[in-house]
Structure 1
Amino acid sequence: MMLQRCRRDVVLLSTTKAAIDIDEAKATIANQLEYPYAVVPNKSIDRNRSSSSSSHVHEDEQTSEEWVLVAAKNLERYGVCALIGSEEYNNNDTRRTTQDNNNGNNQNNSRESIIHHSICNRTNQAASSRLSDLQQKIINRGDDPSGETGGPFRFVEVICRDEGGRRFDMPVPWIGSVEIGMPLSKEQTNAMTEFHECLDSIVRPVLNALWTKASNNEATSSLSIAAAGFLMNQPGSKSQSWHRDGPDEGYIDVFVPLVDLTEELGPTQLLPGTHDMKDVDSLNGIHEDELPSVTPLLQRGEILLFDYRTLHKGLGNTSDNKSRTLAYSVYTNQSPVDIHNFPDALTLEFD
C-alpha cells in the first residue's frame, strides 16, 4: 500500500512525443524543486539482505504495486525516474536537488535506504580494490595508470574517459555471465553479486511493467543486461558534454550511487523528455537554457533509471579529496550488446 505522501509521484513536467513544453517544465522545476521519482515502500524489500537469501518482494506487492507503475509511467513519459526511500523528506514532501544543496540544505540520510548501506559499502570497497588491481596491471605495462599524462585509454577491464585522468569506467560481469579479461577476486565477486541481486529484484518489476505496456500488454521477452560496471569520478574531473548513451529504443540505464551525492561530487544531470526528441545526439543547435534540467542528489543505495536516449552528462567532481563511485547497469529487451560505449579493446589479463 502506498503512503499518502506519494500522491505527487507523477511529476507534472509537460512533454509530448514531438517536443517539450519548455516554459511549463522550467516553471515546474523552479517552483517545486522536483524530478520524476517513485517512492519504494519500506516493506517492498528486505534491504538488509540480497535477493539470493530470504529477501524477496512480498507476494501482494509485485508488479501491480503502485510505486512500480508510477516508476514505469515516469520512465515512459520523461525518460527519467529516481527510485527513492520512503521516509518523509520534509513537511512539503519535496525532493532534494542541487538548488537545495546550494542553499545549505544538505539532508542526506533523511530517507530509508533502498539498497542497504552495508551492501553499498562492501560494493564500493570491492570496486575501489578492483580499480587498484587494474591500475597496477597498467603500471606493469609501463603506462600511466591515471591517464593524466598519456591521455584516455581503453582496455576490456577499465576505460579512462577524460583527458585529465579523473573519470574511469570499469565494466564487470553481471550475475552468471562469463567473465572476460582479468578475473575478479573472490571477495570482489561476492560483493558485486550480492549488490546485483538486490538491485535486480527492485529494477526488474519496473522494466517489466514499462515494456509490457509498450508492447500493448503482450508478454515481453526476457530482460537481459547489455552492460554493467562502475563509474569512478575522482576529484578534479571536468563536466562532460551533453550526450546520449545510444540511439536505440529498449535500453534503460540504471545508476546507483555508492556514496551520498552532493553537488561537488559530480552527480548526473539530465534533460527529461529528450528521449523522444528525434535525431538529437547532443545540444548542437539547441541553447542549453531552453531545456529544463534535473540533477537528483540521491542518497547511497537509491536508484536512477533513465532511457538510453535521454540527454545527460556527468558533472565535474570539485571536492578536495572524495571520489564518487556509481554502479551502473544497462537493461534491455533488445539485443544484449552495447557496442556504442564498449567497442573492442585489449585485455590486461595477461600483463
Structure 2
Amino acid sequence: MVKKSKKKRNSRGDASMEDENDKKDLLLGTVSIADDMTSSSSSLLDSIFGSSGNKNSKPSTERDLFAKVSSLPKSRIKMSTAPSSHDDPDSKKRRIRPSRNDILQQRRRQSQHPLLASSMDFPGVFEREHDTLEELPWEEQVAEMAQSVLQHGLCIIRNPVDTGILQAIASQARVLQSRICRELDAKGISWKATKSNGFEPQTFRFQQAASRCKGRMDMAIGTDNSKTPSNRGENGTKMIDTFYQNTDIQQHILQNPKFYPVIRNLLGGAGSDDPEAVKLVYAGLIFNLPDSEDQPWHQDGVPLFPEARNTADMQASFPPYALNVFIPLETQDGSIERGPTEFLPGSHQWSAEQLEQVNNSSENADNSSDSPKAVSPILKQGDVLIYDYRVCHRGTSNLVSVKDDNKDVDTVQASRRILYLMYARPWFTDHINFDCTKNAESIWSTGLRKK
C-alpha cells in the first residue's frame, strides 16, 4: 500500500493543502453540504442508488425512486458567486465578439488550467499526490480516477484506447458524414454552419441524426431499443453499422479495461459481477463543422424528479447516475482550433440558483470563453474524457478555415469528429437527446445510390 502524501501539490508543487483549497474555493466556488445532514438521509441515498459494495442490491424503478426520495431533507448549499451580467442590462449591447486569435488564446489558457495541468501527466487525477499513477495498485488507480469525477465532475485518462481501432472508426466516420450530408442535400436542407448557395443554415431532426446548433450534427449509433445493425447494405461503414456486435469495439472501447472499471465504480457496479449492473444507453458521433457557433452552457439532461420541490438542490447531493465518455477519433479532433468542449468543474453540485444563471444562457459572464471557472481539456487520439451527466458544458466553434465552402469534401475534412458513449444505472432512461426522434423520418429515406 502506497502511503499518500499529507500535502497536495499544485501545478508548481509548492503550495500547502490549505493554500490549494483556498485557491480552489476562489476559482471554482465550493459547494458544501450542511454538516447536519442526517444519517437517515445517507441511508436513504444508499437505498436509492445502492452501495457499490453490495452485491445483492437490486436497481429500483423510477416510480420507486421518487417514492423513496420524497422524504429526502433539503441540503443547505453555500457558495460564493461572482456577479453576472444579469446585473447589468446593457452588457449585451457592449459585448464585442472576440477575434479568432483572442478565442484561441483563451482556449490555450483554459487548457492550462491548474486542474488540467496535473491531469496531463497524471492520467485521470486532478490533484496530484504521487509521482506516477502506476505507483498505486490497480484498485486504487480506479478509485482515484472515480474520485476526480465525484469531486470535479470530469476526469481525463490519457491514452487508454488503441489508436489503431480509432483510426479505422475515423475513416468510416468520414464516409458516414459525407453520406449524411448528401442525404440532407437531397432533402433540400442547408446543413452547413454558414450561408451556402444563397440559403441560411437550417436545423433538422431525424431518427438517426439531428442538429444541435448551427454547424453541429449529432448522430446516434444506437439507443436502448435500437442496438441492431442498420442493414443499409453499404460498404465502407461496416464497423459503425455493426458497432454493438463488433468484438474489437466491445473489447477496446465499450468495455475498455482501463476506463470501463471507472464507469462501474461510479455507477454502482464495482462490487457486482452482474454484467447488467451498468448499461450502455447509446453511442454516437458528433460532427462539429467549420464556422460552427458556440453552444450555450447546458446539462445533458433534466433532473430525475422535475416535479419535486427544490429538485436541483436535492439532485446535487446524489451520486452519479449517468456518465458520458468523449473519445476523439483523431488527434486533430481534440485540437484547440476545432472547438474543444468547455466544462465548468464542480457544476454537477451547483444549486438551482447557480444553474439558472448559467444554463441556456449565451450572455452572462460565466458563458464567456475567458470565464475563470471554465476549462478546455485538449485531447489526443486515444485519450478519454469522462464527465457526469449533470456537469455544465458546451461545445465551442470550429475555427478551421475552409478554402471553398461550396466543396462538401473540404467541409467534411475540416470537421471535428468525436465518438461518445453514454453509460447509466440500469433504471435510467434518457428522455432528451434522441427520445423525441424515435418517430421521426429516417435520414436514409431518399434511397440515394452510393457515390
Under a length normalisation based on structure 2, what TM-score does the superposition of the two structures give? 0.56
- Structure 2 distance, partners of 1:266, 1:244, is 18
Local SS of the residue matching 2:301: coil
| 1:140-159 mapped onto 2 (5 Å cutoff) | 140-146=186-192, 149=199, 151-159=202-210
| 1:175-194 mapped onto 2 (5 Å cutoff) | 178-179=227-228, 183=232, 185=234, 187-190=236-239, 192=243, 193=246, 194=248
Could you tell me which residue of structure 1 aligns to residue 165 of structure 2? 119
How many angstroms does 1:197 deviate by? Answer: 3.6
Could you tell me which residue of structure 2 aligns to residue 339 of structure 1? 431
Could you tell me which residue of structure 1 aligns to residue 382 of structure 2? 301
Could you tell me which residue of structure 2 aligns to residue 234 of structure 1? 289
2:123 equivalent to 1:39: yes
Could you tell me which residue of structure 1 aligns to residue 149 of structure 2? 75
Could you tell me which residue of structure 2 aligns to residue 170 of structure 1? 219
Structure 1 residues 259 and 175: alpha-carbon distance in aligned structure 2, compared to 1, 3 A threshold: farther
Structure 1 residues 143 and 190: alpha-carbon distance in aligned structure 2, compared to 1, 3 A threshold: same
Structure 1 residues 146 and 183: alpha-carbon distance in aligned structure 2, compared to 1, 3 A threshold: farther
Name the Cα RMSD after superposition: 3.9
Could you tell me which residue of structure 2 aligns to residue 266 of structure 1? 339
Structure 1 residues 259 and 160: alpha-carbon distance in aligned structure 2, compared to 1, 3 A threshold: same
How many angstroms does 1:184 deviate by? Answer: 7.4
Local SS of the residue matching 1:293: coil
Structure 1 residues 219 and 168: alpha-carbon distance in aligned structure 2, compared to 1, 3 A threshold: same
Out of 248, 251, 274, the position equivalent to 2:322 is 251
- Structure 2 distance, partners of 1:301, 1:176, is 29
How many angstroms does 1:254 deviate by? Answer: 0.6
How many angstroms does 1:320 deviate by? Answer: 1.4
1:236-259 CA deviation, whole Å, 9 max, x = no partner?
Answer: 111111111113451101111112
**2:261 corresponds to which letter in structure 1?**
P
Kept in 2: contact 1:246–1:308 (CA 8 A): yes
Local SS of the residue matching 1:304: strand
Kept in 1: contact 2:169–2:239 (CA 8 A): no
Instruction: Determine which structure has the larger helix proportion and give its number.
Output: 2
Kept in 2: contact 1:19–1:276 (CA 8 A): no
Kept in 1: contact 2:191–2:202 (CA 8 A): no
How many angstroms does 1:310 deviate by? Answer: 0.3
How many angstroms does 1:290 deviate by? Answer: 6.8
Could you tell me which residue of structure 2 aligns to residue 350 of structure 1? 445
Out of 171, 174, 177, the position equivalent to 1:128 is 174
Kept in 2: contact 1:80–1:304 (CA 8 A): yes
Structure 1 residues 346 and 31: alpha-carbon distance in aligned structure 2, compared to 1, 3 A threshold: closer
Q: Which has the larger radius of gyration?
A: 2
How many angstroms does 1:223 deviate by? Answer: 0.9
Local SS of the residue matching 1:205: helix
Could you tell me which residue of structure 2 aligns to residue 46 of structure 1? none
How many angstroms does 1:195 deviate by? Answer: 3.9
Structure 1 residues 190 and 61: alpha-carbon distance in aligned structure 2, compared to 1, 3 A threshold: farther
- Structure 1 distance, partners of 2:177, 2:231, is 12
Tell me the number of residue pairs that the alignment of Structure 1 and Structure 2 aligns.
293
**2:290 corresponds to which letter in structure 1?**
P
- Structure 1 distance, partners of 2:9, 2:278, is 29
How many angstroms does 1:350 deviate by? Answer: 3.1
Structure 1 residues 30 and 316: alpha-carbon distance in aligned structure 2, compared to 1, 3 A threshold: closer
Higher mean displacement: 172-181 or 332-341: 172-181
How many angstroms does 1:39 deviate by? Answer: 2.1
**2:150 corresponds to which letter in structure 1?**
E
**2:324 corresponds to which letter in structure 1?**
D
Kept in 2: contact 1:35–1:296 (CA 8 A): no
In the alignment, structure 2 segments of 5+ residues that lack a partner are 12-19, 33-76, 83-109, 125-135, 304-319, 403-413, 447-451
Structure 1 residues 159 and 133: alpha-carbon distance in aligned structure 2, compared to 1, 3 A threshold: same
Local SS of the residue matching 1:330: strand
Structure 1 residues 176 and 119: alpha-carbon distance in aligned structure 2, compared to 1, 3 A threshold: farther
How many angstroms does 1:332 deviate by? Answer: 0.3
Under a length normalisation based on structure 1, what TM-score does the superposition of the two structures give? 0.70
2:233 equivalent to 1:160: no
How many angstroms does 1:308 deviate by? Answer: 0.7
Kept in 2: contact 1:250–1:332 (CA 8 A): yes
**2:394 corresponds to which letter in structure 1?**
K
Structure 1 residues 169 and 35: alpha-carbon distance in aligned structure 2, compared to 1, 3 A threshold: farther
In the alignment, structure 1 segments of 5+ residues that lack a partner are 41-59, 85-112
1:83-125 CA deviation, whole Å, 9 max, x = no partner?
Answer: 11xxxxxxxxxxxxxxxxxxxxxxxxxxxx3212222211111
Out of 264, 274, 279, the position equivalent to 1:208 is 264
Could you tell me which residue of structure 2 aligns to residue 275 of structure 1? 348
Identity of aligned residues (%): 23
1:220-279 CA deviation, whole Å, 9 max, x = no partner?
Answer: 861112221111112111111111111345110111111222211100110011001132
How many angstroms does 1:306 deviate by? Answer: 0.7
Could you tell me which residue of structure 2 aligns to residue 198 of structure 1? 252
Structure 1 residues 126 and 335: alpha-carbon distance in aligned structure 2, compared to 1, 3 A threshold: farther
Kept in 2: contact 1:265–1:324 (CA 8 A): yes
